[in-house]
């Protein structure tokens, strides 16, 4: 394993808290581990910059599903960074966390269409959480984060 630190960016936004809660959980174990060679940093989708993305080795994208699509905030994120990162960040590994009331598929598909255009590489199955948050969902989020990070650490992507 390389001694170099890898940087994992978590981009999310939440109107009522649940998407952010899942994303915080996804990064929680990584922040608590002394041995990890992963540095996590978070940014709100509304204010995340191209610089945030340029510094990342991998990204977790957290969005709610609103009106059958990704959150407006996640769309703002892509609009803000798209042309500034498209050349340099091709191939960047990412994972998607969706929090939805009943579906989540529309939000996921919308994100995948844009990440395909960016040339990013989905490194892990999406975490689609529907309905009220439970402890199981939070555990799934922790597993999601640690799995993505483990792959990043060993250079699997
Ligand atoms: C304006 C609005 C539109 C929504 N549209 C959808 C939708 O199309 N599909 C769905 O499954 N949930 C939909 N929801 C439910 C949200 O995705 C759900 O409440 C989610 O947990 C909100 O995430 P948050 O707590 O991070 O804000 C909608 C909620 C709002 C407020």
Return the residue whose CA atom lies nearest to atom 12 of ligand 1.
Answer: 101
- pTM for the whole structure: 0.96
pLDDT value of position 68: 98
* Residue boundaries of the structural domains of the chain: 6-153
Q: Does domain 6-153 have CATH number 2.40.50.140?
A: no
DSSP H or E segment with residue 70: strand 69-70
Q: What is the pLDDT of residue 1?
A: 46
Determine if ligand 1 sits within 6 Å of the CB of residue 66.
Answer: yes
Ligand 1 centroid – CA 72 distance (Å): 11
Interval between CA 109 and ligand 1 midpoint (Å): 15
Identify the residue whose C-alpha is closest to ligand 1 atom 1.
66
Please give the Cα distance from 86 to 120 (Å, whole number): 9
Residues 71, 41 contacting (CB under 8 angstroms) = no
Q: What local confidence, expressed as pLDDT, does residue 34 receive?
A: 64
Q: Cα separation of 6 and 4, whole Å?
A: 6
Residues of the chain below pLDDT 50? 1-2
CA 143 to chain centroid? 13
pLDDT tens string 41-59: 999 999 999 999 999 999 9
Whether the Cβ atoms of residue 153 and residue 37 lie closer than 8 Å to each other: yes
pLDDT given for residue 31 in this prediction: 74
Structure tokens belonging to residue 52: 């945030």
């Amino acid at each position: 394993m390389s001694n170099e630190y890898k940087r994992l960016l978590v981009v999310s936004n939440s109107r009522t808290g649940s998407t952010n809660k899942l994303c915080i959980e996804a990064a929680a174990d990584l922040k608590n581990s002394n041995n990890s060679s992963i540095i996590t940093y978070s940014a709100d989708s509304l204010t995340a910059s191209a610089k945030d993305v340029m510094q990342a080795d991998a990204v977790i994208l957290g969005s709610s599903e609103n009106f059958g699509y990704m959150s407006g905030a996640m769309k703002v994120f892509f609009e803000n960074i798209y042309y500034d990162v498209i050349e340099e960040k091709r191939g960047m590994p990412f994972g998607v966390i969706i929090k939805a009331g009943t579906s989540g598929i529309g939000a996921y598909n919308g994100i995948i269409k844009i990440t395909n255009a960016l040339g990013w590489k989905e490194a892990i199955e999406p975490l689609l959480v529907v309905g009220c948050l439970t402890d199981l969902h939070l555990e799934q989020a922790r597993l999601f984060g640690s799995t993505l990070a483990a792959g990043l650490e060993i250079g699997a992507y």
